[in-house]
Amino acid sequence: GGNVVREFEQAYAEAYGVKHCISVANGTDAIYITLKMLGIGPGDEVITVANSWISTSETISQTGATPVFVDVDDYFHINVSGIQQKITNKTKAIVPVHIYGQPVNMGGIEELCEKNNLFLIEDCAQSHFAEYDGQRVGTFGIAGTFSFYPGKNLGAYGDAGAIITNDDELASKMRMYANHGALIKHAHKIEGINSRLDGLQAAILSAKLPHIHEWIKARQKVASIYDSLLNNIDEIVIPSRRPKTTHVYHLYVIKTKVRDNLQKYLNDHGVQSVVHYPTALPLLPAYDYLDYRPEEIPVAYKNQGEILSLPIYPEMTIQMVEYVVKKIQYAVLEIS
């Protein structure tokens, strides 16, 4: 708490063009607090995507509700055409994830939420300031949640998170719940949790915030170089770009049928790569009780063995990108 935290909240709200920014301890808490303060709990269902970090789904379970998973589309996002059949009289919300830095098809999601009277909560942990049709992610639904984990495009030096909203009543509830149920010390109106942003992290985020758009442009430049150099390698599928969106490239994720051998070759030659994420959420042991089968999420299941995140960060030079691509070319030749 304190002035430094309040200053960051105000700066982030102004930068995003929203009324409220509620800082919290981490991006996971941001989702949980939002769900909880919307009254979601036991007996409810919340629809989300099959490919994400477990924070997205575990927070649904933590409220007492049940996560309902939908397969992904060609952009690694929740497949809008598969959502309607998952909606029941228990469904209370949809949580799309703007994964890897690219916005979901928000037009289709908004229509579904309006049609079925559902809350729309956007998981923007990897997509700070990304845009769909000229509008920033996090501003389509009742609330948008963010992570400022050190590896994010806007990262602190430790765990940190925030929620944005234009709903005054919800903002007050979320701020209260995150601070032991009190807006004023010792005046606990409800039972809450302890999820407060540390002042040091707020100061770091305030210092970095003015540079975020410059860093996004640098990431986009790196991605465009990757696109042009990798597009001619038959064994590599470069990331698809959704029309009418601004991709901020938290991650640059390719697909290849020789993923495991390629990753080993790159690692042996000084190029680190990561799989985000090696197991689709409904197929994790944590969700055995839901009895999902691979054929229910065929695209996410197939992606498990093909996706690979290549190095990307604002300070990457053209020479660095060329080195990575050259090693990929060598690897493909050797593997073939």
pLDDT above 70 as % of the chain: 100
Q: What is the mean pLDDT of residues 84-113?
A: 98
pLDDT of res. 213: 98
Whether the ω angle into residue 16 lies within 30 degrees of 0, i.e. cis, is: no
pLDDT of res. 182: 93
pLDDT of res. 1: 80
- pLDDT of 199 higher than 90: yes
pLDDT of res. 336: 76
pLDDT of res. 268: 97
* pTM of model > 0.75: yes
- pLDDT of 109 higher than 90: yes
- The one-letter amino acid code at 13 reads A
pLDDT tens digits for 257-281? 999 999 999 999 999 999 999 999 9
Q: What is the mean pLDDT of residues 157-185?
A: 97
Report the mean per-residue pLDDT for the chain.
97
